[in-house]
Every structure is written in structure tokens, then in C-alpha cells.
């Protein structure tokens, strides 16, 4: 579906020859001399790379229709993740490469919103923070109370994050899915 650059909005997905891009930011500029143009900041949906692009005003672009479906992560089958559509209950096997970094935050029973462009998965929307159990870390030593000191901890999904010294194996912690940082104990 063709859309004018004057109709661009944040979050809109457009299909360019270089790939699929989501509009992060746009600005309509009308200089005193010359024609108007639209300055945009676009994020590649597949790779996450951000580019800046300028378009003429009223230039036509192809809008990509991205379908978002709520799915529940059931289990891991070898190198694939098995999801179930919460509406139709049909199961879908997704390769780890299609999930990207989201695979580090998914545990069995979690809900995620998968973004489809046709039959291809182009992104995963996760909650802002998830609760994960610490699988392995060095125990905190009594008296070791340096302010702001951190240690590495391996979580149940295999993700390694830096946590405060008082966090012990078996505890649940909250992790920010956008930055991958420790937030608090759960």
C-alpha cells in the first residue's frame, strides 16, 4: 500500500529497497527557499541498524503491513522455539535466529507478541521487564559491601548479567529487556 511521506508516523513500517524499516522519528521541513522535505530516522526491523534518510515532500513510499500476534512460548525443541497462538491454539516452530536477543528473556509459559511480515517473523515485543531465576553466581561474602560493586550471574535462560553482590543462586530477579540490565530482586 503506497503512502505519502507527509503521512509518516512514528512506529509505521515502510518497505524500502534496502529492507523493512520502522519510522523512529520524522520531521517535516519547509525551508524558505526550495521545496519542502521530510527528514526521517529509520530503524531496520531485521538488523536493528538505524539510518537517517531525507525524502521529498509528498513522495510515495510502500507501507509494509506488519501483523502482530500474541503467542505463548511453550518449550524449546533443539535449536527452535515452539510458540502457541493464544487465539487459534496452533503451534509454530521459530528458529532462534528469528527471535534475536528476545531468546535470552523467554522462559516456558511466557507471553510475547510476534511481528509477522507475510510469513516471516521480523520482530518480537516483550514486556519492559521479566523475572528470571539466577542459575549460577558466586555467593556473596559477609562483610563484602562495597557500594555499587557487581558480579556476573548466569540466569535460567543462559543470559549473563551483572548483579549486586547480595544476589545469590536460586533467587528471582527482574531484568530490563531493552538494556539487559539488572533492575531489582523479585
pLDDT band at 84, cuts 50/70/90?
Answer: very high
Chain centroid to CA 63: how far?
Answer: 21
pTM of the predicted model as reported, rounded to 2 decimal places: 0.72
Pair 69, 113: CB distance under 8 Å: yes
Q: What is the pLDDT of residue 41?
A: 94
pLDDT of 48 above 90: no
Q: What is the pLDDT of residue 74?
A: 92
Domain ranges of the chain: 2-63, 67-125, 129-185
CATH number of the structural domain 2-63: 2.30.30.30
**Cβ neighbours of residue 31 under 8 Å, at least 6 residues apart?**
none
pLDDT of 140 above 70: no
Largest CA distance in the chain: 70
Task: Report pLDDT digits (tens) over 143-181.
Answer: 666 667 788 899 988 889 988 888 888 999 999 888 888
Q: What is the pLDDT of residue 51?
A: 92
pLDDT, average across residues 50-54 = 92
From the number of C-beta atoms within 10 Å of its C-beta (0-12, 13-18, 19+), residue 132 rates as buried
pLDDT, average across residues 70-90 = 89
Q: Does domain 129-185 have CATH number 2.40.50.140?
A: yes
Q: Which of 22-26, 94-98, 132-136 has the lowest mean pLDDT?
A: 94-98
Pair 122, 20: CB distance under 8 Å: yes
Order of strands, edge to edge, in the sheet holding 120-125? 91-95, 80-85, 67-77, 111-117, 120-125
Rg (CA), the chain: 21
- CATH fit for domain 67-125, picks 3.90.1180.10, 3.40.50.620, 2.40.50.140, 3.60.20.30: 2.40.50.140
pLDDT band at 141, cuts 50/70/90?
Answer: low
Q: Are both 2-63 and 67-125 of the same fold? A: no
Question: Could you tell me the three cell numbers for 13?
Answer: 513500517
Amino acid at each position: 500500500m503506497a503512502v505519502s511521506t507527509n503521512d509518516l508516523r512514528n512506529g509505521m513500517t515502510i518497505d524500502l529497497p534496502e529492507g523493512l524499516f520502522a519510522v523512529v522519528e520524522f520531521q517535516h521541513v519547509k525551508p524558505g527557499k526550495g521545496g519542502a522535505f521530510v527528514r526521517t530516522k529509520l530503524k531496520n526491523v531485521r538488523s536493528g541498524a538505524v539510518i537517517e534518510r531525507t525524502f521529498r515532500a509528498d513522495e510515495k513510499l510502500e507501507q509494509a503491513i506488519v501483523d502482530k500476534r500474541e503467542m505463548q512460548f511453550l518449550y524449546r525443541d533443539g535449536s527452535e522455539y515452539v510458540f502457541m497462538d493464544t487465539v487459534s491454539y496452533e503451534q509454530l516452530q521459530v528458529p532462534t535466529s528469528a527471535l534475536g536477543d528476545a531468546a535470552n528473556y523467554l522462559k516456558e509459559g511466557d507471553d510475547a507478541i510476534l511481528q509477522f511480515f507475510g510469513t516471516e517473523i521480523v520482530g518480537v515485543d516483550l514486556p519492559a521487564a521479566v523475572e528470571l531465576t539466577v542459575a549460577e553466581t558466586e555467593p556473596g561474602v559477609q562483610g563484602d559491601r562495597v557500594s555499587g560493586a557487581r558480579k556476573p550471574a548466569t540466569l535460567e535462560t543462559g543470559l549473563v548479567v551483572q548483579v549486586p553482590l547480595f544476589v545469590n543462586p536460586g533467587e528471582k530477579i527482574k531484568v530490563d529487556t531493552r538494556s539487559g540490565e539488572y533492575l531489582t530482586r523479585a
